[in-house]
């Protein structure tokens, strides 16, 4: 099959070229390719299928807690729903992001097992490639207060339970690197092939850099879940800006991080060291209004964002293509910057080499979007999975 008449995003810019692919992967890229099966992109943009490395659920379904099973079915059913729904937003691969805010380590292990059960049965739609455990071991006061009855410093015993005793498909685990035993824990998970992540901490920049010496290499949504910066103080934000060993996630909806700070991060770290995420959650994708969840929390969805009862900004309600649209229209990034940050940088920052770029030999996961980032066609493993 060949895609023609597309603006193909490769290596940070758009190209007028054709792409030949089949179920085995991308076969050829060039002008005037010939073949019988043609997809006419009609002048729209072609990106590699998007990788979302930070997503907790969506449309009422959760990867945070076992909840609303009466309404949406068991966890496996909720995961299958997400797999099927995400391609309509341009996402073809995601990291199930299991958040420890309202649960305990044993429950996180059960959620992990449910996702693995779906993978064993065979995935249709977006593929839950590897796990991302956020808020696993934190110290930032306003989050510790919410889970102080069970929260523990970073340690391998709780970590083993959390991942259901299997690190083989775990990509990222977050922690506060200033706690006692944190460096030993970083050494432990690095030995398992896991990328340690900074977030929800009270560390100094010096402590973060020392953690990077041990292998810490990711920063969960920079600025959100961190102490505010001050010019007379050293903190984690400053360390992430300074140390390019640490790849920075950014929520670029124009609200979670001010557009000026987004541009400063990109200018400072370079676009290859920064990548976009949705931070999509179970309350995302819902209609405006109040929503009650099984964990006892109530959220207000308003104008594309979610708020706790106390007025605190929670995760956004913008799916991947909407996030790309806001990054361009609200934050003011160029189309090339948006393409890099969402279509190619995730693979670069997460050491993924079999997808996440339009390149011969990579998976034929592709998405066609119009100029306003509406998804027209999503292709997974060489087959059209979604059409508008």
Q: Does residue 364 lie in a domain region?
A: no
Rounded distance between C-alpha atoms, residue 102 and residue 229, angstroms: 27
Domain containing residue 102: CATH number? 3.20.20.140
Question: How many domains would you assign to the chain?
Answer: 2
Digits of tens for pLDDT over the chain (388 positions)?
A: 999 999 999 999 999 999 999 999 999 999 999 988 999 999 999 999 999 999 999 998 988 877 788 889 999 999 999 999 999 999 999 999 998 654 578 888 999 999 999 999 999 999 999 999 998 888 887 666 666 555 678 999 999 999 999 999 999 999 999 999 999 999 999 999 999 999 999 999 999 999 999 999 999 999 998 999 999 999 999 999 999 999 999 999 999 999 999 999 999 999 999 999 999 988 888 888 888 765 567 888 888 888 888 888 877 789 999 999 999 999 999 999 999 999 999 999 999 999 999 999 999 999 999 999 999 999 999 999 999 9
What's the Rg (C-alpha) of the chain?
A: 20
What residues make up the domain containing 87? 50-354
Query: 322 with 373: CB under 8 angstroms?
Result: yes
Judge if 249 and 138 occupy the same domain.
yes
Judge if 55 and 6 occupy the same domain.
no
Judge if 379 and 234 occupy the same domain.
no
Judge if 12 and 112 occupy the same domain.
no
Judge if 383 and 302 occupy the same domain.
no
Judge if 113 and 213 occupy the same domain.
yes
Q: Does residue 137 lie in a domain region?
A: yes
Q: Does residue 124 lie in a domain region?
A: yes
Judge if 138 and 120 occupy the same domain.
yes
Judge if 178 and 285 occupy the same domain.
yes
Name the burial class of residue 38, with classes exposed (0-12), middle (13-18) and buried (19+) by CB atoms within 10 angstroms of its CB: middle
Rounded to an integer, what is the distance from CA 136 to the centroid of its chain? 16
**pTM tops 0.85:** yes
Q: Does residue 299 lie in a domain region?
A: yes
Domain containing residue 32: CATH number? 2.30.40.10
Query: 151 with 174: CB under 8 angstroms?
Result: no
Judge if 90 and 207 occupy the same domain.
yes
CA distances in angstroms from 171 to 47, 95, 174, 218, 288, listed in the order given: 24, 8, 10, 10, 33
Rounded distance between C-alpha atoms, residue 251 and residue 242, angstroms: 19
Judge if 40 and 65 occupy the same domain.
no
Q: Does residue 288 lie in a domain region?
A: yes
Q: Does residue 360 lie in a domain region?
A: no
Q: Does residue 365 lie in a domain region?
A: no
């Amino acid at each position: 099959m060949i895609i023609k008449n597309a603006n193909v995003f490769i290596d940070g810019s758009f190209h007028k070229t054709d792409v030949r692919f089949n179920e085995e992967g991308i076969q050829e890229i060039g002008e005037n390719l010939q073949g019988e099966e043609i997809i006419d992109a009609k002048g729209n943009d072609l990106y590699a299928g998007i990788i979302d490395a930070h997503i907790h659920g969506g449309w009422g379904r959760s990867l945070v807690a076992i909840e609303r099973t009466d309404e949406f079915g068991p966890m496996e059913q909720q995961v299958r729903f997400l797999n099927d729904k995400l391609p309509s937003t341009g996402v073809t691969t995601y990291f199930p992001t299991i958040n420890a805010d309202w649960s305990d380590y044993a429950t996180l292990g059960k959620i992990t097992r449910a996702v693995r059960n779906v993978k064993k049965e065979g995935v249709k739609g977006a593929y839950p490639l590897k796990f991302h455990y956020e808020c696993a071991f934190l110290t930032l006061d306003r989050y510790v207060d919410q889970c102080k009855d069970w929260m523990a410093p970073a340690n391998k015993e709780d970590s083993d339970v959390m991942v259901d005793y299997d690190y083989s498909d775990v990509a990222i685990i977050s922690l506060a690197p200033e706690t006692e035993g944190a460096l030993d824990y970083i050494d432990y998970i690095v030995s398992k092939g896991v990328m340690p992540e900074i977030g929800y901490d009270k560390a100094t920049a010096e402590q973060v850099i020392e953690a990077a010496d041990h292998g810490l290499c990711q920063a969960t949504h920079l600025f959100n879940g961190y102490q505010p910066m001050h010019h007379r103080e050293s903190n984690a934000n400053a360390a992430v800006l300074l140390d390019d060993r640490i790849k920075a996630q950014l929520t670029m909806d124009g609200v979670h991080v001010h557009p000026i700070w987004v541009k400063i991060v990109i200018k400072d770290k370079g676009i290859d060291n920064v990548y976009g995420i949705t931070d999509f959650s179970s309350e995302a994708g819902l209609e405006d209004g109040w929503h009650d969840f099984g964990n006892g929390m109530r959220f207000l969805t308003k104008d594309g964002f979610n708020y706790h009862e106390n007025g605190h900004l929670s995760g956004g309600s913008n799916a991947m293509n909407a996030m790309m649209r806001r990054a361009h229209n609200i934050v003011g990034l160029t189309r090339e910057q948006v393409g890099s940050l969402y279509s190619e940088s995730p693979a670069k920052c997460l050491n993924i080499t079999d997808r996440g770029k339009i390149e011969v030999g990579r998976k034929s996961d592709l998405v066609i979007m119009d100029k306003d980032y509406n998804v027209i066609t999503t292709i997974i493993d060489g087959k059209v999975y979604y059409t508008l």
